[in-house]
Structure 1
Amino acid sequence: MSVRWMPASLKRSEAMAVVMILIRISFVILSFIFSPAVFAIPGGVLSSFSTPGDWPTGLAWDGRYLWCADAREGMIYALDREDGSVQEVFPSPASSPQGLAWGRGRLYIADGTTGTIYIFDVKTKRTERWYKLLGPSPRGLAWDNGGLWLVDDRRDVIYKLNPEDGTLIDYFKAPAGDAWGICFDGKYLWVSDRITDEIYMISTDGVVILSFKAPGPFATGLAWDGNFLWVNDFQDDVVYRMKRNDDEKYAVTDWRETIIEFTHRVQNLGPGRLEDVKVYIATPPDRLENQELLEIDFTPQPDSFTIDRWGQRVAICSFPEVNPGEQISAGYRAKARIGNLRYYLFPDKVGTLQDIPEEIVNKYLVNGSKYRIDNPSIKGVARKIIGSEKNPYWIARRIHKYVIENVRYEAAGGWDAAPVILKRGTGSCSESVFLFIALCRAAGLPARFEAGSLIRGDLTSIDYDNHRWAEVYLPKYGWVPFDPSIGGGHSPAGVARAVGRTDVIGGPHPGLFVTTHGGGDSEYLGWNYNSYATYTFREKCNVRAERWFLWDVPKR
């Protein structure tokens, strides 16, 4: 920072003091510009304050105060949401108050020890009614006009109860293994989980739509004040105010730099000779939301580069002949920055099918030999899955749910067409993707595939398997990843993690590298991804082809 404008009479110490003041001012300005409140994504913390007790559990909003339960003291506090100051305090009728909900001018209190709901009048400080619950471990409570939502963390179930007597209206499986807090924002439920440390937005029939990290290690109580989510954290003894939604469509975290080497090798085991060998290599994109290609060196240098009908750049390496007992290799060494991508998909923000650009429709609703979208079974199943649904998000989610529940993962070799996968009920990652894309296109929803490599275990590792997944075009969001090959048996949260996120594509992993985008058959890669080799031969030839990625990720 220049200080040449200072008067010459200033001493060195005075000059340094001025410099330090300017640095501090600059730091304050930068801190404001880059603060979470300015760039807050869904789940961003806007403010916080300490809880009055050290065992905070339930949280509720009555339109004026935040009501906070403390399980150790057995007390209920009314808090000013601006600064957390205690406006009122009284003993809870429950010996171990857990969930709180506000409805019809009364405070509903769940007792985690006795499994009882108390209906409490905060004005008269009297318990008006109480009733025993079905579940053994009541935690969070949330009011919904005409219903009371309850979380049972031992059964991993969310119940909807008649608030008058606790009789059951509905129930479904909780998002993950240890649900705790719950609130209702007028349309969706929000549920915190102690083990995953995530807060989930779910539909009122139990479908997990999105999630974000909880602000602390043990989120016990949730409340909705009409604008923001409020979260009690049992371990931090803090109440957090969080953003529910934002204009940001996605976030990328955990950026890391990596070296990736790709090799495609062709061996001629004889006795004949291979001729006119060509290796077509999918060139990784220069930039994606969560990937930046810093440099790439091919070995050998490609004879040419071209672009296929789907916009995929392809390097072509030619070898005139490969004699018996010889082998050739082609590939690259790439340096890249990769991160974990997470979309925040709000169904109400997704546009209509009519909002999809014409060029996307014309390109990604066409048929293909692996799709067979004109097949009666594909068309019939698509109609059955979709029903009367018009929202592109829910169309994609219904198809995704159908494929993961009806296609068991099995890599049996070969890539059969979608109608065969539908009939057989098993398939590899590519075959599940073919079926998913076929059903999406039959339903009028543009879809394509994306492919590449992921880190298999250790940061320095070899990936022989590679992976292909799908992308769906959601208007007002763009291309969003869906992995339909995760198979059945997952929790609701596990299913949702395969939608709009890259950190679990192909299974949980610390890194993913995208090489290929395609909508169908490529004039260079065929239905392959990463690479493809062609050749002719004289006499009989036994050919072995292999390809792999070598990952080298420096430790942080």
Structure 2
Amino acid sequence: MNIKVGDGIKTVLIIGAVFFLCGSSFPEKNKLIQAKISAEIQIPKWYHEGLYFDGKNVWVNNGEGGKTWVVDTSSGSVIKEIEPVGTFTESITLKSDNLFFVTDWNSEKIYTIRIEKGRMIAQSEVCVSPAHPAGAIWNGSNLFVITWTRGLYGTKFHIIKMDDKFNIATKKRINRIQEPAHLAWDGKNLWISSWYDRRVYKVEPENFEITGYFKSPVERTTGIAWDGRYLWLTGTNANLYRIEIAMTKKNQEEK
């Protein structure tokens, strides 16, 4: 495994904008905020999906027929593999001590699971058919889930806000993000990755207002996680990237 670290690997731009997930227009005037790759970590190839940061390591879910890897971010080594609860793990997010929410694309279900002897063991579940659940994040009080519903006239994307018993508080159509994939939570804002247009969007969690975005350095961007300082990104067949968000005065005030 190889890790490339440094300030000069690549710089990406965050374009600050204010518009809604369900809106139909994009403002012409944008505020540019810099971000940069501070590390690239080589990991084995698979169909990488959602990421989860456990305080030390990054977990990588591996979609169709894959296991969840626990990756040591100092070396890029897979130090543990976890057997899935279904057949296509999209995302995993911690609710409380050894109790996680997991989304599975093929089963069209959201689970609560515990990990026992290297396996995900279902505790409860809810089916969201005909939708497929993708990204999910628990922010301490609510679970946010992205869903894809395919039909004759294309795919409809939604973001659902629910409680820990899967009771839905809000469900909104996503029109402004093409093929939204996964979610992260930085303590105040949601971050949504877009598989199609290689962008990562910063989203206000109450009204789902998009307040900015940056161009992802990762082709076919999928997984995203926040570690308290950096965003981590991966893509369908990509490595792990650690992204440093420039601390503007506005960002410092938010902290």
Same fold (TM over 0.5): yes
Verify: 1:109 aligned to 2:111, yes or no: no
Q: 1:94 aligns with which of 80, 83, 86?
A: 86
**Other-structure match for 1:140:** 135
After superposition, give the CA deviation of every residue in 1:232-277 in whole Å (9 maximum; x if it has no partner).
Answer: 2113x21111113334x8xxxxxxxxxxxxxxxxxxxxxxxxxxxx
CA 1:181–1:43: 2 relative to 1, 3 Å: farther
Q: 1:203 to 1:90 in 2, by over 3 A?
A: same
2:199 touches 2:214 (CA, 8 Å); kept in 1?
A: yes
Specify the alignment match of 2:179 in structure 1. 178
Matched letter for residue 245 of structure 2:
R
Match of 1:130 in 2: 125
What's the secondary structure of 1:145's corresponding residue? coil
Structure with more relative contact order (C-alpha pairs < 8 Å, separation 6 or more):
2
1:43–1:214 Cα contact (<8 Å) kept: no
Query: Per residue, is there more strand in 1 or in 2?
Result: 2
If the length of structure 2 is used for normalisation, what is the TM-score?
0.77
Change in Cα spacing, 1:211 to 1:347, as seen in structure 2 (3 Å) is farther
2:156 match: secondary structure: coil
Kept in 2: contact 1:61–1:102 (CA 8 A): no
Q: Deviations over 1:110-134 (max 9, x none)?
A: 1111211122222453222222126
1:127 partner amino acid: A
Map of 1:232 onto structure 2: 234
One-letter amino acid of the structure 1 residue matched with residue 145 of structure 2: L
Which ranges in structure 1 are unaligned for 5 or more consecutive residues? 1-31, 250-344, 350-556
Rounded Cα–Cα distance in structure 1 between residues aligned with 2:190 and 2:157: 15
Q: Distance in 2 between matches of 1:43 and 1:99?
A: 25
Q: Tell me the CA shift for residue 35 of structure 1.
A: 4.8
Deviation at 1:146, TM superposition (A): 1.5
Indicate if the aligned counterparts of 1:74 and 1:94 stay in contact, CA closer than 8 A.
Answer: no
Q: Residues 308-347 of structure 1 correspond to what in structure 2 (within 5 A)?
A: 346=251
Residues 1:155 and 1:135: Cα distance change in structure 2 (over 3 Å): farther
Deviation at 1:215, TM superposition (A): 1.5
Q: 1:43 to 1:107 in 2, by over 3 A?
A: farther
Q: Is the 8 A contact 1:94 1:118 kept in 2?
A: no
1:220 is displaced (CA, Å) by: 0.9
Structure 1 runs, 4 residues or longer, greater than 3 Å off: 32-37, 39-43, 345-349
CA shift for structure 1 position 34: 4.7
The AA in structure 1 aligned to 2:112 is I
Structure 1 contact 53–70 (Cα < 8 Å) conserved: no
State the distance in 2 between where 1:135 and 1:203 align.
27
Deviation at 1:135, TM superposition (A): 5.8
C-alpha deviation, 1:180, in angstroms: 0.6
How far the C-alpha of 1:163 sits from its partner, in A, is 2.6
Residues 292-441 of structure 1: matches in 2 within 5 Å? 346=251, 348=253
Deviations 1:401-454 (A, max 9, x none): xxxxxxxxxxxxxxxxxxxxxxxxxxxxxxxxxxxxxxxxxxxxxxxxxxxxxx
Is the 2:146–2:160 contact (alpha carbons within 8 Å) kept by the matching residues of 1? Answer: yes
Structure-1 separation of matches of 2:252 and 2:130: 32
> 1:53–1:73: 8 Å Cα contact kept in structure 2?
no
Tell me which residue corresponds to 1:189: 190
Contact 1:75 1:91 in 2 (8 A): yes
Q: For structure 2, list consecutive stretches of 5 or more residues without a partner in the other structure.
A: 1-5, 15-32, 149-154
Structure 2: distance between partners of 1:163 and 1:123: 21
> Counterparts in 2 of 1:232-311, with a 5 A limit?
232-235=234-237, 237-247=238-248
Max Rg structure: 1
Relative distance call for 1:45 and 1:89 in structure 2 (3 A) is same
CA contact 1:120–1:127 (8 Å) conserved in 2: yes
Partners of 1:33 and 1:187 lie apart in 2 by 26
Q: Are 1:54 and 2:32 counterparts?
A: no
Deviation at 1:97, TM superposition (A): 0.8
Aligned twin of 1:74: 66
Structure 2 CA distance for aligned equivalents of residues 222 and 34 of structure 1: 22
Q: 2:58 & 2:116 partners in 1: Cα distance?
A: 15
Give yes or no for contact 2:195–2:221 (8 Å, CA) kept in 1: yes
Alignment CA distance shift 1:184-1:128 (3 Å): same
Q: In the alignment, does 2:214 pair up with 1:222?
A: no
Distance 1:68 1:107, change over 3 A: farther
Please provide the CA RMSD for this pair: 2.7
2: CA distance between counterparts of 1:203 and 1:43?
A: 19
User: TM-score, normalised to structure 1's length?
Assistant: 0.37
Query: Which position in structure 2 is the counterpart of 1:504?
Result: none
The answer to which structure has the higher helix fraction is 1
Distance of aligned partners of 1:91 and 1:53 in 2 relative to their CA distance in 1, 3 Å threshold: farther
